[in-house]
Amino acid sequence: MTKEAIIRVNDLTIGYGDYVLLHDANFQVNKGDIFIIMGGSGCGKSSMLRVLTGLLPPKKGNVIINGTDITQASPAELQKIREQSGILYQSGALFSSMTLAENIMLPLQQYSDYSPSTIKELAHLKLALVGLNGFDDFYPSEISGGMKKRAGLARALALDPDIVYFDEPSAGLDPISSRNLDDLIIELNRSLGTTIVVVTHELASLFAIGTNSIFLDANTKTILAQGNPKELLKNPPNKEVYQFLTRGETK
């Protein structure tokens, strides 16, 4: 079965200033994948996400999303891609001066043609979908960290995006909430066919949800392995990947 690529990354080099984090990376994310970006602390996972979402210009190479190269796209094209993607930030990144409902209504007001009352109902529905039924009028400062994450997810889902990016979704969550978030991710992927890109180093989570992955390595500054995390555990291509996936056991 050949799959259609939704994100294609060619010869990508990323870094800050003179400092290179990762060079000549090539990989692709297929439509409908739950794609994991893993690797040790400081290897550049968050930076990779910033490049994929167009926040950090790469030093070299292309990132092609839905057929458009975001490194060379015009503002209008970039806008279109942004409407098609949702991002859940590590801390939720809700706008603190707005209620949860207003946070979710914001992208809808900008990019959809719904009437104001429909937008309000949609925001309510999205909140209910992530288990925050009735929290419409709460401010971000009035809810817990886990709830903020879920509200952030509701906002990321507001425009029914094709791709949703997550930066360490389970960081700071208790095991049950983290599990619930994983279930939510799988549900999203199954019922809406959303492609999902997740940065994580929580093993339980990445084995439970991942259908494909890349492993970044800070020493060689390259991608050390690609593939389904479960397959990688069965046939580890090298020592680093094996140690990472088994919490540091030596072969």
Partner 1 sequence: MKTIDTLTNMSIQITTEKDTLHISVNGDIVNFDTQTTLKKIQKSITKQIKKIIFINNNLQKWDSSLLLLAFETICLAKDKKISYSIDSMPKNLQELITLAFAVNRKPSHKTSDQKDFLEEVGFKTLSITSKIKTVCKYIGEILSSIGRWLTANSVMRKIDFLSALDDCGPKAIGIVSLISFLVGLILAFVGAVQLQMFGAQIYVASLVTIGMCRIMGAIMVGIIIAGRTGSAYAATIGTMQVNEELDALQTMGLSRIDFLVLPRLLSLLIAMPILTILADFMGMIGGAFVGVFMMNLPYQEYWKYALDAFSLKNFLVGIFHGFCFGFIIALCGCYCGLTCGRNADSVGVATTRSVVNAIVWMIVVTGIITVICQELGI
Q: Rounded to a whole number, what is the distance in angstroms from the first to the last CA of the chain? A: 34
Residue 185 as a binder of ligand ATP (CB under 6 A): the answer is no
Among the candidate windows 44-52, 103-111, 148-156, 172-180, which touches ligand ATP by CB under 6 A?
44-52
Distance in angstroms (rounded) separating the CA atoms of residues 53 and 76: 15
Cβ proximity to ligand ATP: between 49 and 64 the closer is 49
Instruction: Rule CB under 6 A: choose which of 10, 13, 30, 46 binds ligand ATP.
Output: 46
Counting contacts by CB under 5 A, is residue 91 touching Mg ion?
Answer: no
CB 67 within 8 A of CB 244: no
Binding mask 63-102 for partner 1 (x = CB under 8 A): ---------------xx--xx-x-x-xxx-xxxxx-----
Q: Which long-range contacts (CB under 8 A, 24 or more apart) does 65-70 make?
A: 65/6, 65/7, 65/163, 66/6, 66/162
The nearer residue to ligand ATP, 43 or 209, going by C-beta atoms, is 43
> Which one of the spans 38-46, 112-120, 144-152, 232-240 is the region binding ligand ATP (CB under 6 A)?
38-46
Each residue 186-225 as x (binds partner 1 by CB under 8 A) or -, in order, gives --------------------------------xx------
Which of 1, 4, 19, 248 forms a contact with partner 1 (CB under 8 A)?
A: 19
* Residue with Cβ nearer partner 1 (39 or 229): 39
Task: Find the shortest distance in angstroms from Cβ 115 to ligand ATP.
Answer: 41
Question: In which residue are the tokens 């060689």 written?
Answer: 220
Inter-residue contact 163 to 63 (CB < 8 Å): no
Nearer to ligand ATP, 36 or 43 (CB): 43
Nearer to partner 1, 111 or 114 (CB): 111
- Determine, following the binding rule CB under 8 A, whether residue 114 of this chain makes contact with partner 1: no
| Closest CB 48 distance from ligand ATP, rounded Å | 7
Residues that bind partner 1 (CB under 8 A): 16-19, 50, 53-55, 78-79, 82-83, 85, 87, 89-91, 93-97, 106-107, 110-111, 218-219
Q: Which residues bind Mg ion (CB under 5 A)?
A: 46
